[in-house]
Amino acid sequence: MAPAQRVYLCRSEQLINGAEAVPFDLMYFGRAARGFAIRFDDVAYAYLNQCTHIPMEMDYQPNQFFDSSGAWLICATHGATYDPQTGACRGGPCRGGLVKIRLTEQHGEVHWHTAPNLQPLKF
C-alpha cells in the first residue's frame, strides 16, 4: 500500500466559517467523485460530496452545504443533516456518516490526504 500523499487544496483564507465550501475532484474507490472542504468553529474539515441516504451530491447551490442556522451540513435533496465536525448523521434519512477526508493546514495552505479509497483524480 502506498503511503498517504498530501494534495494541495486551497489557501487557508478561502475557507471561511460557515460559508461557501471549496470543492475538489478525486477518485473514490476508482471512480471520479467530488469532495468539499468547509470551515466550522475555525477548523477546516473535508468530506466526500455524497449523501449517505442516496449516493448523490448534497449541495443545494454550488458549494453551499450549511443549513440556514449554520450549525449543520444538509443534503438538499432529502434533508439529511450531518455534524460539520465529524460528518455523523444528526437527523433525517441517512445511513451512517459522511466519508471524512483528512486535511492539514500549515503556513496558510490547506492540503487533503490520500487514502486507499481516496486518490487524486487522474486525467
Provide the residue ranges of all domains of the chain, joining segments of one domain with +.
Answer: 6-120
Average pLDDT, the chain: 92
State yes or no: pLDDT of 3 exceeds 80.
no
Give the mean model confidence (pLDDT) for residues 35-56: 93
Q: Tell me the one-letter amino acid at 78.
A: H
Give the mean model confidence (pLDDT) for residues 76-103: 91
Higher pLDDT residue, 72 or 123?
72
State yes or no: pLDDT of 14 exceeds 70.
yes
Q: What's the confidence (pLDDT) of residue 2?
A: 64
Closest CA to 90 of 79, 101, 100, 99: 79
Q: What are phi and psi of 14, to 5 degrees?
A: -75, -20
Percent share of the chain, pLDDT over 70:
98
Name the residue with cell 444538509. Answer: 74
Q: What's the confidence (pLDDT) of residue 43?
A: 97
Give the architecture-level CATH label for domain 6-120: 3-layer Sandwich (2.102)
Q: How do 89-91 and 31-40 pair as beta strands?
A: unpaired
Give the mean model confidence (pLDDT) for residues 43-55: 91
Give the mean model confidence (pLDDT) for residues 58-63: 88
Q: How far apart are CA 81 and CA 95, in angstroms?
A: 11
Q: How far apart are CA 105 and CA 6, in angstroms?
A: 11
